[in-house]
Amino acid sequence: MAGTAGTPGTPGTPRVLRAMNDRAALDLLLEHGPLSRTRIGKLTGLSKPTASQLLARLEAAGLVRVTGTSEGRPGPNAQLYAVNPAAAHAAGLDVSPSRIHAAVADVTGRTVGEYELPTPGRHPAQPVVQQVTDALDGAAKAAGLSRSDVHRLVIATPGAFDPNTGRLRYASHLPGWHSPTLLDELAAALPMPVEYENDVNLVAVAEQRLGAARGHTDFVLLWNQEGLGAALVLGGRLHRGWTGGAGEVGFLPVPGTPLVRQVTKANSGGYQELAGTQILPELARELGVEDVPAGPYTEAATELVARAAHHTNGPYRKLLQAYATRLATGLASLVSVLDPELVVLSGSALTAGGEELRTLVQAELAELAAPRPRLAVGDIRERPVLRGALESALAATRDEVFDTSR
């Protein structure tokens, strides 16, 4: 009978216990870097002979390698072991209307190849499948690999693919991505497992694994860059909603803006119109800020917020205060419903404000909502969407490659 004692793979059998010890050792090597067998034994609680057998097993499987010796200590006990970076590779794609940014990481998490494919225009010259494969191939080539060497791919897009229909929703501004057969076409063209995730959700993944939300299982991430959105992590898991639309707070009706109907067709809504980056240049002019930056509104907004964070009075201070009030207005609805432990402020138009903006939003939120979550500025500033895509792909890849019970 399945599940009887002694069946291969049954919890508690020597095979499964060995696999658990193997995974614990691999996770320690990922966390700490190169370790000696003595140190691994102490950290895992294993005896020296068992630790030696474990490392021999992992080395034979190609999962670890000897990287040197402890300084001043000759002999086999001084050998340092590390996870073999070439054991597997994973990839992430960050898709926006103007470009696809692709990256490949080795199993240790180090990015080994990147490529950016411009995709301008409302009517792309290349089909989406070709865009995706070209971007992935470019990153793989930069890493000295081929497409077939990539173990898993995570694609980040605005909006979300509805799990009930397979169609992209909440992202009408992403041309070419709305075909009902797109996911099947991509599956046929790509030789590895592919997952699709909302871009802001993946920023939350990056912050939870590497940044300001590390160690937190209940938090909201508010994102403000090209668009205004949120990610919800409840009980340690991303909350996506029935159609993948949880966190699409740009459409949230809020005081201070007209009520917008048929928001998905208009691709706009109250909170986006109240606190999105597109409103900051005009708001700055209204408050008397001179020399408002020209150019794309996201870059202009980020520059204005960065300048305002360094002023204690005058028009720039009024701008930062007004922006904080607008941000807190939408956040009040979120925290009143969810009562999270933490709110992470991310995206260039929020992180540029640093501690000054965080303090103002925290004070405004305390007056507008009963819950009192702590606010923190996001730590992942360098391509956070892409970093989250890689972290998501790496987590699943490690679960598969590091499983020595099979």
For 335-365, letters b (16+ CB in 10 Å) and e give beebebebbbbbbbbbbbbeebbbebbbebb
**pLDDT score, position 163:** 87
- Regarding whether 351 and 370 lie in a shared domain, the answer is yes
Strand partners, 346: 223
**pLDDT score, position 260:** 80
- Regarding whether 370 and 223 lie in a shared domain, the answer is yes
CB–CB of 102/117 below 8 Å?
yes
- Regarding whether 373 and 258 lie in a shared domain, the answer is yes
**17 contacts: CB under 8 Å, gap ≥ 6:** none
Residue 347 lies in a domain: yes
Which range has the worst mean pLDDT, 39-43, 120-124, 292-296, 360-364? 120-124
Give every strand in the sheet of 64-69, ordered side by side.
Answer: 35-36, 79-83, 64-69
Give the domain CATH number at 375.
Answer: 3.30.420.40
**pLDDT score, position 386:** 98
- Regarding whether 270 and 349 lie in a shared domain, the answer is yes
**pLDDT score, position 1:** 37
Residue 5 lies in a domain: no
Give the domain CATH number at 20.
Answer: 1.10.10.10
From 139, 171, 200, select the one nearest 384 (Cα to Cα). Answer: 200
- Regarding whether 99 and 21 lie in a shared domain, the answer is no
**pLDDT score, position 368:** 97
Backbone angles phi, psi at 301, to 5 degrees: -65, -45
- Over residues 258-287, mean pLDDT: 87
Residue 343 lies in a domain: yes
Residue spans of alpha helices (H) in 122-243: 128-142, 182-189, 199-210
- Regarding whether 329 and 223 lie in a shared domain, the answer is yes
**pLDDT score, position 237:** 95
Total-model pTM: 0.92
Residue 7 lies in a domain: no
- Over residues 359-384, mean pLDDT: 97
From 90, 181, 173, select the one nearest 388 (Cα to Cα). Answer: 90
User: Is the predicted pLDDT of residue 171 greater than 90, yes or no?
Assistant: no
63-80 tens-digit pLDDT: 999 998 766 565 566 799
For 81-93, letters b (16+ CB in 10 Å) and e give bbbbeebbbbbbb
Three-class DSSP category at 42: helix
For 62-76, letters b (16+ CB in 10 Å) and e give ebbbeeebbeeeeee
Residue 126 lies in a domain: yes
Tell me the C-alpha distance between 309 and 304, whole Å. Answer: 9
Residue 372 lies in a domain: yes
- Regarding whether 43 and 122 lie in a shared domain, the answer is no
Environment class of residue 124 by beta-carbon count within 10 Å: exposed (0-12), middle (13-18) or buried (19+)?
A: middle
324-344 tens-digit pLDDT: 999 999 999 999 999 999 999
Into how many domains does the chain fold?
3
Choosing from 60, 83, 106, the residue where a domain stops is 83
- Regarding whether 258 and 375 lie in a shared domain, the answer is yes
- In this predicted model, which residue has the larger pLDDT, 307 or 125? 307
- Regarding whether 375 and 241 lie in a shared domain, the answer is yes
pLDDT band at residue 299, thresholds of 50, 70 and 90? Answer: very high
Q: Which domain holds residue 53?
A: 14-83
**pLDDT score, position 321:** 98
User: Is the predicted pLDDT of residue 125 greater than 70, yes or no?
Assistant: no
- Regarding whether 340 and 396 lie in a shared domain, the answer is no
Q: Give residue for tokens 């193997």.
A: 22
**Mean pLDDT, the chain, integer:** 92
Choosing from 59, 83, 107, the residue where a domain stops is 83
- Regarding whether 236 and 137 lie in a shared domain, the answer is no
Three-class DSSP category at 39: helix
pLDDT band at residue 4, thresholds of 50, 70 and 90? Answer: very low
**pLDDT score, position 55:** 95
Which range has the worst mean pLDDT, 92-101, 110-119, 196-205, 250-259? 250-259
User: Is the predicted pLDDT of residue 399 greater than 80, yes or no?
Assistant: yes
Residue 210 lies in a domain: no
Residue 2 lies in a domain: no
pLDDT band at residue 395, thresholds of 50, 70 and 90? Answer: very high
- Regarding whether 341 and 225 lie in a shared domain, the answer is yes
Choosing from 24, 59, 83, the residue where a domain stops is 83
